[in-house]
Amino acid sequence: MDLPRNDLSMIHRFIPATVEGATPLLLLHGTGGDESDLLGLGGLLSPGAALLSPRGQVLENGMPRFFRRLAEGVFDEADLRQRALELGAFVEEAQEHHGMARPVAVGFSNGANVASALMMLDPTKLAGAILIRAMVPFAEPPAFDLGGAQVLLLSGGMDPIVPTDNAARLARQLQEGGARLTHEVLPTGHGLGQMDLVIAREWLAASFA
């Protein structure tokens, strides 16, 4: 059985590809998750693709996260910038170490937020992203150019954590930053559900065939 690895700058799990040419997935868990949380989702989204799944390096009440926050929905933006760039450096390390191509990020909640921050701070690190229940990462986003990278944003119309206007603002920022964005607002709350899986799997197959 594959076990967590600490041979790179972040504890992670890596599942090698079994399908040649499949785009690797970078799996980024939500608050309280770990490097094993989204492996099942990754396998369902793209069977046979390489899966790279790091553990967030910040603890909040003992729960792993990818960056600090000051309160619910209020991010420590200095820490977010540092951690997002550290994640980008880890992705680069992992590409060389594991012999993988640039991945598509699949992030849920906190993981989606660090993925969108990384895309804004260093658009070269990811091939694209699936952002599930993401919110605006920066009060004043940096100038960035995603150069047509494919991004899927899945928001919850009844999400108590991410207001619909916040998700819409993130969508505008990504579009203005050059993303080829698909934004779906689902009749659900903050949790990850079957609709997310179905839409994300179809989008991934169409966008990265």
Query: Which residue among 37, 122, 159, 196 is the active-site one?
Result: 159
SS (H, E, C) the chain: CCCCECCCCCCEEEECCCCCCCCCEEEECCCCCCCCCCHHHHHHHCCCCCEEEECCCEEECCEEECCCEEECCEECHHHHHHHHHHHHHHHHHHHHHHCCCCCEEEEECHHHHHHHHHHHHCCCCCCEEEEECCCCCCCCCCCCCCCCCEEEEEEECCCCCCCHHHHHHHHHHHHHCCCEEEEEEECCCCCCCHHHHHHHHHHHHHHCC
Query: Which residue among 109, 116, 155, 207 is the active-site one?
Result: 109
Q: Is 155 an annotated catalytic residue?
A: no
Q: Is 159 an annotated catalytic residue?
A: yes
Active site amino acids: 109, 159, 190
